Amino acid sequence: MGVTFPGEMRQDEVWAGFFARHYNGSRRGLAKRIFANSGVVSRHGAVNPLVEDASGWSTARRMGRYLTEALPLGKDAVGSALNAAGLRPDEIGLFVVCSCTGYATPGLDILLARDLGMAADTQRLFVGHMGCYAALPGLGAASDYVASRGRPAVLLCLELTSLHVQPPSEDPQQIVAHALFSDAAAALVLVPDATGTQVADIAAVTDTATADHMTWDVTDLGFRMGLSPKVPDVLSAYVGDLVGGLLARHGLTLSDVDGWAVHPGGPRILDVVRDQLELPDAALAESRGTLAAHGNCSSPTVLLILDALRRRARGRPRTTVMLAFGPGLTLYGVLLRG
């Protein structure tokens, strides 16, 4: 695993130094409570609002900054992951990149493959606009490639949500987004015939009837998040069956799971997963700890939690369930063994 972050920001300082003025209207009291109850203590931003106010930037300006900031972060994360795996860049057969916070052509997959020194015949897959759950279908594609082709693959998830701070608004959904989201890059290497952790199975469910509950719209002033307070209620209707079916296909039950890497879309989502699966609070300690230390980094977040679980396990065999959620509404689950 390779993980890298842009500059750190304290949540209370970001509130006092920027968002307290940003929401200096009828919603200021609500905004202050949302920031205080977000579960975020510190987070990261390629664009720090205490230094630069990007809320009035055009989308073109934000996309130019995206490439400037994303390339070194992605190079560092992938390079660290390759070094940890003992592989050279030119040994990689497939390079999967997930990102929904920036667009460019040639994209990150091409430019990073070039800068890292991957081979000309390296295959590439770019996963865009899946949002917070993108790491899991990306992981599935990389795992399938490794199993069928017998060559290593790299998955990179990189998001720069700080580029998309919006102009002042009375919309509570915008306040929630500004209180939660953060920047990060995380990379994972998959190799054939590995004796360590294996992707055993993947499951997904999408409720298209609630597609309007989570949106990510391209506007003249960056990308605008829509985040309904009904999202946790929708997830509560599906998470039990999805996880139960994922485990049952392998003769497992909830008690067989050693680690839970649950995407912290916010404190309420973690509470819903805990309650629906009847998990002890300790089962989601890494998820809550990641939210507190790094915020909601969109697609890299579940990989950050997995990294925290692996460090706690110190290499011991584990059965791990990864869960992430995003537009659709979509719920993805991955079962890891070993």
Catalytic residues: 132
CA-derived radius of gyration, the chain: 19
Is-cis flag, bond preceding 327, omega within 30? Answer: no
Q: Could you tell me which of 190, 191, 276, 263 has the C-alpha nearest to residue 233?
A: 276
DSSP sequence for 295-307? -B-STTHHHHHHH
> How far apart are alpha carbons 293 and 305 in whole angstroms?
11
Our CA angle for 186, 189, 192, nearest 5°, is 160
Q: Angle of helix 267-277 relative to helix 239-248, nearest 10 degrees?
A: 50
- Are the C-beta atoms of 47 and 91 separated by less than 8 Å? no
Alpha helices in the chain (DSSP H): 11-14, 20-22, 28-36, 59-85, 108-116, 135-149, 172-180, 231-236, 239-248, 267-277, 285-294, 301-313
> What DSSP letter does each residue of 251-275 carry, written as one string?
T--GGG--EEEE--S-HHHHHHHHH
CB 112 within 8 A of CB 92: no
- Residue 128 burial (10 A CB sphere; 0-12, 13-18, 19+): middle
Q: How far apart are CA 208 and CA 220, in angstroms?
A: 27
Does residue 295 contact residue 40 with C-beta atoms inside 8 Å? yes
Q: Which two three-digit tokens encode residue 77?
A: 């994360």
Whole-number Cα distances in Å, 6 to 63, 113, 133, 231, 316: 17, 21, 21, 29, 31
